[in-house]
A = this chain, B = another copy of it.
Amino acid sequence: MKLLRNTLLETFVAVVDCGGFTDAQFTLGITQSAISIRIRDLETALGYRVCERGRGGFRLTERGEIAYGKARDILRSARDFDAELLELRDVTTGDLRIGVVDAVNTLADLNLDKSLKRFLDRPNDVRLEIVVASPTELTQRLITGELHVAIAPFRNQVAELTYTELCQEEHWLYCGRDHPLFDLPNDQIDLDVISRYQICQRSYSMLVSPELQSNDPKAIVANMEAMATLIETGHYLGPLPVHFVESRGQNGKLKELAPNRLHWTSTFHLATRSTSLHRRAVELFVADVVQSCEANRDLQDAGT
């Protein structure tokens, strides 16, 4: 059997991503005619039409949809494969696909920007890709190889992945300026008082405050900004990472509620696939992150 040329698949994926032949010209660096022919060749090889196109707009066929997903996957692993072979000489190259949860850039103990800087300061030919998603989704994408590394508070750990503990993130409960509790002294606030008000929670996999869970959250958000926004409306209470609130410097707009009693800690991990050796780029980045966190811990230990 003759293998599909990978230019055909690249073309197909680019065309889908661009939503048509015309725009894909620039991405692929070839003319529209060439694209037309390549797609025709692909369809001839496959024996079915992968997309409807023309003046009426661009649309994948049912089979095309499936083919597109598979094609993207195989191209990704082909790129990783190339990088593996290229890294057998002394270069650092290929994709480095990192996944994180949102609001990590202000997490001081993690210091992701410093780790990234260290990584990028080395001579390299790496194409960086950073994805923001929930821990559950990150887990999924690590397993499929769509991501190489992920940094998140992984509460449910799976066997396929290896986790390294990085740092802690502290959460307090906050209320907005217009909320009834805003002016109540903190020593009068406890779980019982809290339970009279509506709580905004993060979606399940990001839950940080189990004590509040039974209170039937009236709002659920999948994003830190959204959480802050809802709390600022004055209609909800909600937990937020301390570093997140402090970095926004709006100390007047949010108030922490009884931080001595209502605080939660989540542990951030770095996760990679357990099986097989990793590419040089991945190993280096992991080392940078871990080292950065350790340096931080040492600094804090010395300070106390």
Query: A residues engaging B (CB < 8 A)?
Result: 1, 3-6, 10, 46-48, 63, 66-67, 70-71, 74-75, 77-79, 81-86, 88-89, 91, 93-94, 127, 159
Q: How far is the CA of A220 from the CA of B188 in the complex (A)?
A: 77
A84: chain B residues at CB < 8 Å are 70
| Measured CA separation A46–B93 after assembly (Å) | 12
Q: Are B3 and A79 in contact (CB under 8 A)?
A: yes
Q: Which of B1, B6, B70, B88 contacts A63 (CB 8 A)?
A: B88
CB contact between A3 and one of B4, B78, B91 (< 8 Å): that residue: B78
- CB neighbours (8 Å) of A89 from chain B are 46-48, 63
Q: Which of B47, B67, B82 contacts A1 (CB 8 A)?
A: B82
Q: Do the beta carbons of B3 and A10 come within 8 Å of each other?
A: yes
Chain B residues with CB below 8 A from A79, complex form: 1, 3
Determine whether the beta carbon of A81 is less than 8 Å from that of B88: no
Residue of B nearest to A160 (CB): B160
Ordered by A's residue number, 25 sampled pairs between the chains whose C-beta atoms are within 8 Å are A1-B79, A1-B82, A1-B83, A1-B93, A3-B6, A3-B10, A3-B78, A3-B79, A3-B82, A4-B81, A5-B5, A46-B85, A46-B88, A47-B86, A47-B89, A48-B88, A63-B88, A66-B88, A67-B88, A70-B81, A70-B85, A74-B77, A74-B81, A77-B77, A159-B159
